[in-house]
Amino acid sequence: MKNNGTVMTEVLAQSNKPAEPSKDQSSHGTRKTYLKVDAKFPFCKGCGHHHITHAVNDALAKLKLPPEHINIVSDIGCIGLVDALFDGPHTFHTTHGRSTAFAAGVEIADSILADSALKNVVIIGDGGAMIGLLHLVNAAQLNVDVTVVLYNNFLFGMTGGQNSSFSPMDFVTATTPKGNIIPPIDIITLLEGANAGFLARKTATDHDLADTISDAIAHPGFALVEVLELCTEYALRGNSIRGNKLAEIYPGKVVELGVVKNSAERRSFGEVYKEKFPGEKMTKSPTVLTPRYENSLEKKIGVIIAGTAGERVQSSAYMLAEVAVISGANATQKNDNPVTQGSGFSLSEVVLSRQDIFYTGIEIPDVVVAASEDGLKEMESQGVFARTGPDSLIIADESVTVPVCAGRIMKLSLRRKYLPAGAAFAGILTAMKLTGVLPMLAFQDVAAKQKRSAELLSIIENVVGNE
């Protein structure tokens, strides 16, 4: 991607590479088609998806966009098969209803971090629009440069013709065999309320559909074109409506077709952001941990640490994982706490290994640290003690009663000596000193970089000094 920098390269690492010029491409940037030369449309005979997909392609060709500047994001449903038909543009296939959110994310990255060269086109059905409705509202509110082509055939075609939120009154579907009785969503009115700049409603066979879609794509902000069509497989069975009468699909009213709104009054999210926060990037550099110590791990070990919320249990577990990584090992961490973040228990499971870790669960824990009664109770209810073996080391605060189990129990004055906020860290440190798998120097290294470094270094000095 030209001049787009590393971030977009990463974001689109899985997407299609720009294609070599094909027979249909007279030169770079002036393609006649973005569809594969031998594209085989998978849709049922007569399905409106054929027309709309060709119109999307024609709209792109009309705009003469270089393929690498086009990002097509498809949703679930029969229309989700379009990705494979295109040749050249980047394509993403997403989960149901989330295509608009994916496209909005790509567009925000492109507009803030790169050169805003991408044009994002979302291909979504009425089922996806129903499931991901708030993503459409949000994209319109943000005014990201995303064009949504909504293939509205008033039902879920792929899954058997069920009713959608877009089904007209009286519409017969698999789930409304006597006709729909719930008024449909008017997506145009809804998105007008969310300040969308470009809104249009067309039918699949409109001769100027491609022109409308190209105007939408050219619009420098959020745009949506709702295209009415029929699912020939399911809509024709119980309904008398036919493709040439789609403007009459809503009982009692004739749909107004065409561009409903075309206003570039609002600036796009990227423009506003860059003006408001010049020079700021929306990214945080990832922390790179460089191995600089040796570990003595002979096998994968699982450490379960539990205590009371707010007493640094999970941050202590994170330090253990960090120590392992800077000692040349791999580490995973899984945290658990009740819905209420600041009360009750706090628990972490850390797996350490020289090898890649593909399974992050701990069946027989090698080390268990019970820093408080809250933590002990939670581990008890999760069956942690019942899963210990003769080689399991259990470090527990003196205040708790460890249930009878197979592991070796060591009671220590963690809370009294190191205070509640230092209990988990002191327990971890003691266990690592006893097992000898990670160097204490690495703990000092990590502790020295923490905000509470003085407190942590003093705990290390105490624990290591008590050998």
Residues that bind Mg ion (CB under 5 A): 125-127, 153, 157
Q: How far is the CB of 225 from ligand SF4 (least distance, A)?
A: 18
Is residue 233 a contact point for ligand SF4 (CB under 6 A)?
yes
Taking the C-alpha atoms of residue 83 and residue 97, their distance in angstroms, rounded to an integer, is 16
44/255 with CB nearer ligand SF4: 44
The stretch near ligand SF4 (CB under 6 A) out of 41-49, 249-257, 370-378, 395-403 is 41-49
By CB under 6 A, is residue 90 in contact with ligand SF4?
no
Q: How far apart are CA 221 and CA 213, in angstroms?
A: 13
Please pick, from the candidates 57, 74, 99, 153, the single residue that binds ligand SF4 as defined by CB under 6 A. Answer: 153
Residues contacting residue 186 through CB under 8 Å, at least 6 positions apart: none
CB of 173 to ligand SF4, least distance (A): 12
What does 126 interact with, of Mg ion, ligand SF4, none (CB < 5 to 8 A by kind)? Mg ion
Rounded (5°) CA angle 371-374-379: 80
Q: What is the enclosing helix (H) or strand (E) of 128? A: helix 126-131
Q: Does 171 bind ligand SF4 (CB under 6 A)?
A: no
Cβ nearer to ligand SF4, comparing 45 with 284: 45
49 lies in the site for ligand SF4, by CB under 6 A: yes
Instruction: Compute the distance between CA of residue 321 and CA of residue 305 in angstroms, rounded to an integer.
Output: 12
Q: Does 47 bind ligand SF4 (CB under 6 A)?
A: yes
Q: How far is the CB of 357 from ligand SF4 (least distance, A)?
A: 42
Residue 97 CB, shortest distance to ligand SF4, in Å, is: 17
CB of 155 to Mg ion, least distance (A): 5
* Per rule CB under 6 A, count of chain residues that contact ligand SF4: 12
Cβ–Cβ < 8 Å for 322, 289: yes
| Residue 232 is a binding residue for ligand SF4 (CB under 6 A) | yes
Question: Containing H/E element for 465?
Answer: helix 453-465
Q: Does 74 bind ligand SF4 (CB under 6 A)?
A: no
- In the complex, minimum distance from the CB of residue 153 to Mg ion, in angstroms, rounded to a whole number: 4
Q: Which of 126, 183, 184 is nearest to 155 (CA)?
A: 126
Out of 157, 365, 375, 427, name the contact with ligand SF4 by CB under 6 A: 157
Q: Which residues pair with 346 in a beta bridge?
A: 307
> Strands, E, within 251-397: which ranges?
258-262, 301-308, 330-336, 345-353, 367-370, 393-397
The residue at minimum Cβ distance from ligand SF4 is 157
Sequence-distant (≥ 6) Cβ neighbours of residue 394 within 8 angstroms: 367, 368, 370, 385, 388, 402, 405, 407, 408, 409, 410
> How many CA atoms, within 13 angstroms, populate the side-chain half-sphere of residue 296?
10
Find the shortest distance in angstroms from Cβ 126 to ligand SF4.
10
The residues near 241 (Cβ < 8 Å, ≥ 6 apart) are 230, 235, 248, 249
The enclosing H or E element of 124 equals strand 119-125
For ligand SF4, the closer of residues 120 and 153 by Cβ is 153
By CB under 6 A, residue 239 contacts ligand SF4: no
Residues in the chain: 467
User: Which one of the spans 25-33, 226-234, 284-292, 354-362 is the region binding ligand SF4 (CB under 6 A)?
Assistant: 226-234
426 secondary structure, DSSP code:
H
241 binds ligand SF4 (CB under 6 A): no
Which SS3 state, helix, strand or coil, does residue 301 take? strand
- Please report how close the Cβ of residue 156 comes to ligand SF4 at its closest, in angstroms: 9
Site for ligand SF4, rule CB under 6 A: 43-44, 47, 49, 78, 153, 157-158, 231-234
